[in-house]
Chains A and B, each alone.
Chain A
Amino acid sequence: THVLNTGMGVPGAHMALSLHRMDPSTSLWNLLTTGTTNDDGRCPGLITRETFTPAVYKIRFETGQYWGSLGETSFYPYVEIVFTITDHSQKFHVPLLCSRFSY
């Protein structure tokens, strides 16, 4: 992933995020990884190739907390992006470009 703060033209640094996988039999989300973006807005080591099985995944970005730590409000308390992985041998980049009122 790569988080960009388009409102201020800087990387979305020190933003908490988490990766989840949907359990197809229960339809519940299983937490796989939690992390925080670095100074560059990136978060290396989200998942290993073995764990990255075909499934529905969700990345949750704690954008509300992020804007709060900058002393600002935001329209969105958090952002969740749900996506389907069928071919897990590929590499996937799920960037988030966000401002206080848009992503």
Chain B
Amino acid sequence: MSSTLPNSPLTTYVLNTGDGVPGARMALSLHRLDSLLVIWNLVTVGTTDEDGRCPGLITTKAFTPGMYKMRFETGQYWESLGQNSFYPYVEIVFTITNPNERFHLPLLLSRFSYSTYRGS
């Protein structure tokens, strides 16, 4: 969709803290809440690269103020490594008021724990 885009204002980074490696080849999707209909619209699907990153998530133009959700297919990820996990997936819902800033949404993840923070 926007795979050739150099500078998405929203970036992510998945780290497998259980094994001490990047969370590579994890499927994820970005959604925006339609505030009128109160339903989630799918904006992008992607997969993290070998480094646990996923460039080209959204264009600056599409990155309007609103409520967004990033869904990480963590259950699938652990299964592909032959492991189970406490969480079938991780969804992080966040609010963008000023889309002119840059937002970095990392996910630090093990089979039984995860954490995220707002970076830039």
Contacts and interface: CB of A to CB of B under 8 A. Distances in A.
User: Is B a genuine binding partner of A?
Assistant: yes
A29 interface: no
B65 interface: no
Contacts of B40: none
Contacts of A103: 115-117
Interface in B90-115: 90-95, 115
A82 B93 contact: no
Contacts of B95: 64, 74-77
For chain A, the bracket of interface size reads: 10 to 19
A82 B117 contact: no
B118 A75 contact: yes
B87 A81 contact: yes
B93 A77 contact: yes
B88 interface: yes
B87 A84 contact: yes
Given A75-B95, A78-B93, A101 B117 contact: yes
B68 to A, nearest CB: 10
A80 B116 contact: no
Interface of A: 56, 64, 74-84, 97, 101-103
